[in-house]
Structure 1
């Protein structure tokens, strides 16, 4: 019952975002600056504040991090091989692979970790999130390029973008402060708390506003395939690894929540920039977000 009472309100806010977009309360002109506000300011403040306050020695688990990254890597490689077997077109193949592995960590994974596990769970999830986000971005670029018909010369650009990623920067900064036990001034910490408080509800509303039912219907079969792999196979693989190595549910739940996250909205941006199937990416983001309302309850109830 606790799982349902925690997860249901989160997806009610997502549906409110979708309804607000349909009614015109959230417009296209509002979406871009609102996304920038959450992505560049609010989420980084929330991540830094939670990690910097936590004990790095207690929250960091190298075995958990390795298994999480291993599960994500296996999904990228196996779905890449699957697209060859299914003989997908290059643009569809690259987008399909990253849709199966590229999770929405900042906008959905971290808010659920916060609401379900509290500040301690958020701190552990934030540490893993920084490393997992680096892996996801690198693997997505590599996969999209492998399926691209155009030569790509932007690897240096991608590396620079990763180094400038506000979520990655805030996670690494929080890890440094926590590991070195550096004090954070009370005024600064309070400011981060206020700013970070904006992130969860605003992120959920924006995710809802991005959902497209029309494109889900148009790309129904491949979208369902990608959603099943992202929401069921990836978390299942991670859970098997966690159980086989003797980790307790309290230890691995923050990582499992991140693996359960639906396809990231960034999948659309990357598909559009690297000759992928952008509309299919939107369909997968929309469908996996909606279906994750059920799969999150399923996985948390199982654990």
Structure 2
């Protein structure tokens, strides 16, 4: 349990670093606002495109696992849609934070999959990432565009995360092989996305942000760290997944939310500080939800 929990500690510490640097050095909010734009328009898209292009995908061989992953994300999106009917709900705050309930941290996912399942585990989680990132981004952008006064279709078509994911999938299925210098360049650009993105989360953090709507925050985090793992545990049994795939699906469902949630909310006119608080809380909760999910899995499968 300690090993899985410590896997998330560097992400949380990067958020703390961003918070301290923004508030106690000359690198203030103006600097980090520019950093957010860099992450959103260049670093994250390059990371997504490069990762998908170089990942071997075999969806036909893992159709049940793919079905389970898409179902987990779809249920998360559906639950946030139902929350709009709550009396007195702040529509823009819900639109900003809804993505936290169904998006996931891809970097932690890949590292965790390697620990749990070795090379096959990495291949399985890569498939889930490739299938679910477009769905997650569509859900997040649609929600924010709808409530932020944007043209939803236009925002979806021009969103850099969606463009990068779709073009990456097309290039992957077309068998595109990038020359080594190009791959190296993309890899180096993409490798800057995680630390800068997480520090941008910390720079935008306001600890009082979640106090504005604590019940909404608790509900969104409960979906991410309690409801979806329970759903994944049931789907593993219902779909008859092999033990290794069922474990990967459960780990996938218990992950902390994506660090880019804050960047997306901030760049699309959402409640950035509130989402920053949710991302930080989710990263901290993930240090417990992932190990606890693995303990539940071991108990259910008798090992």
What band does the TM-score fall into relative to the shorter chain?
A: 0.7 to 0.9
Query: What is the aligned partner in structure 2 of residue 72 from structure 1?
Result: 73
Residue 240 of structure 2: SS of its match in structure 1?
coil
Residue 208 of structure 2: SS of its match in structure 1?
helix
Distance 2:83 2:152 in 1: 26
Distance 1:53 1:79 in 2: 33
Q: From 196, 213, 220, give the equivalent of 1:219.
A: 213
Aligned partners of 2:44 and 2:190 also within 8 Å:
yes
Distance 1:200 1:113 in 2: 13
Distance 2:80 2:203 in 1: 29
Instruction: Give ranges in structure 2 of 5+ residues lacking alignment.
Output: 115-121, 298-303
1:154-175 CA distance string (max 9 Å, x none): 5xx3222222222222222222
Q: From 108, 111, 114, give the equivalent of 1:112.
A: 108
Residue 105 of structure 2: SS of its match in structure 1?
helix
Task: State whether structure 2 residue 69 is matched by structure 1 residue 88.
Answer: no
Shift of 1:30: 1.4
Q: From 254, 261, 277, give the equivalent of 2:256.
A: 261
Aligned partners of 1:80 and 1:97 also within 8 Å:
no
Shift of 1:233: 1.2
Give the TM-score normalised by structure 2. 0.75
Distance 2:249 2:42 in 1: 23
Query: What is the aligned partner in structure 2 of residue 132 from structure 1?
Result: 135
Give the 3 Å change call, closer, same or farther, for CA 49–259 of structure 1 in structure 2: same
Aligned partners of 1:267 and 1:281 also within 8 Å:
no
Shift of 1:100: 4.3
Q: From 177, 189, 207, give the equivalent of 1:183.
A: 177
Distance 2:113 2:105 in 1: 12
Shift of 1:94: 6.1
Aligned residues: 286
Distance 2:60 2:228 in 1: 23
Shift of 1:260: 3.2
Give the 3 Å change call, closer, same or farther, for CA 202–130 of structure 1 in structure 2: same
Task: State whether structure 2 residue 291 is matched by structure 1 residue 288.
Answer: no
Query: What is the aligned partner in structure 2 of residue 4 from structure 1?
Result: 5
